[in-house]
Amino acid sequence: MLNRKYVPILVTFGLLAVMFAAGSFRYTGFFSAQVLYNLLIDNSFLIITAVGMTFVIISGGIDLSVGSVIALTTMICATLVERHGWSPVVVIPMVLIFGALFGTLLGAIIHYFKIQPFIVTLAGMFLARGICYIISIDTITVTNGFFTKAAQTKVPLPGGNISINVIIALVIVLAAIYLAHYTRFGRNVYAIGGSEQSALLMGLPVARTKILVYTFSGFCSALAGVVFTFYMLSGYGLHAMGLELDTIAAVVIGGTLLTGGVGYVAGTLIGVLIQGVIQTIISFEGTLSSWWTKIVIGLLLFVFILFQRLLSDRRVTLKT
């Protein structure tokens, strides 16, 4: 009975294990620590974004602006560092604060004007993406020493090595798990996702929590943008196109219910890794087009939302 709430996350984890095992049997060289590390290296920005999105979705909302905020962050970093010669030590905190404030603005509009998060963050998405092109319509390559060093530093681990980005992502995941389960803010997010009306009547700070959720998501997106700059060493308005949808897919595959109230940050991490494994398998296969990733993720999502529906239906029948 106690384990039932962990069922979706266990299924997700099992799926990841099965896929990794299948890849290991089928392709030589697949079963290695470095393949696993690469999963983290190539998806660290997605992990960070998805952590922020997990909170938003648990609170019952959605944030479509994340991909654009990443692009805008890479753009601001690149232009300030490369064209205006600002120090990364100033620029990076600045973009993080900017991302958080952008999220706060969206959250405040959503809460105080009672507008659907979908449409508000959609507007935010267009706005941030558009601002990229005001800065420049071209790619700005980053050659700054701090950025290149961050990109190239390898942290040795048994069987391979990981990048700084991975460490940032894992720290964020751990911090988010603590935030979700051991702080009032985290529990209030779950409560609001369970029933906003009840949360209000129980005297919880609904307004503050809801806005902070988007602030946190904005912060995560900006941090993902910085990590993305480390990863790509460039700023570009077309970076992270459609990433918001990958993020939502990862969160849902990770066992978070789109209706809010239920979900785990750890599940989201696994959700991202599943997407990464699919990509890796397809690249190992060699002959398949990378669009197969989308096809497999599409099918997986179908399976998962149906699975979630079955689970929540059972809950309803239990109640009556």
Residues lying near another protein in the complex (CB under 8 A): 1-2, 5, 181-184, 187-188, 190-191, 193-195, 197-199, 201-204, 261-262, 315, 318-319
Task: State the minimum distance, in angstroms, from the CB of residue 213 to another protein.
Answer: 16
CB of 206 to another protein, least distance (A): 11
Q: Pick between residue 12 and residue 59 the one whose CB is nearest to another protein.
A: 59
Q: Which is nearer to another protein, 84 or 319 (CB)?
A: 319
**3-state DSSP assignment of residue 299:** helix
Tell me how far, at minimum, the Cβ of 312 lies from another protein, in Å: 10
Distances (CA, A) of 153 to 35, 47, 89, 230: 18, 20, 18, 10
CA 121 → CA 35, 50, 140, distances in Å? Answer: 35, 15, 26
Backbone φ and ψ of 227, nearest 5°: -60, -40
193 and 261 in contact (C-beta within 8 Å)? yes
Q: Distances in Å between the alpha carbon of 79 and those of 138, 160, 251?
A: 11, 34, 32
Those residues whose C-beta lies under 8 Å from the C-beta of residue 249, and which sit 6 or more positions away, are 271, 275, 297, 301
In the complex, least distance from residue 182 CB atom to another protein, rounded to whole angstroms: 5
Q: Which is nearer to another protein, 26 or 181 (CB)?
A: 181
Q: Would you say 2 or 134 has its CB closer to another protein? A: 2
Q: How far is the CB of 64 from another protein (least distance, A)?
A: 24
CB-based contacts of 233: which residues, under 8 Å, 6+ apart? 141, 142, 143, 147, 148, 151
Q: Which is nearer to another protein, 188 or 268 (CB)?
A: 188
Least distance (Å) from another protein to the CB of residue 313? 12
How far apart are the C-alpha atoms of 91 and 85, rounded to whole Å? 10
Looking at the Cβ atoms of 191 and 300, the one nearer to another protein is 191
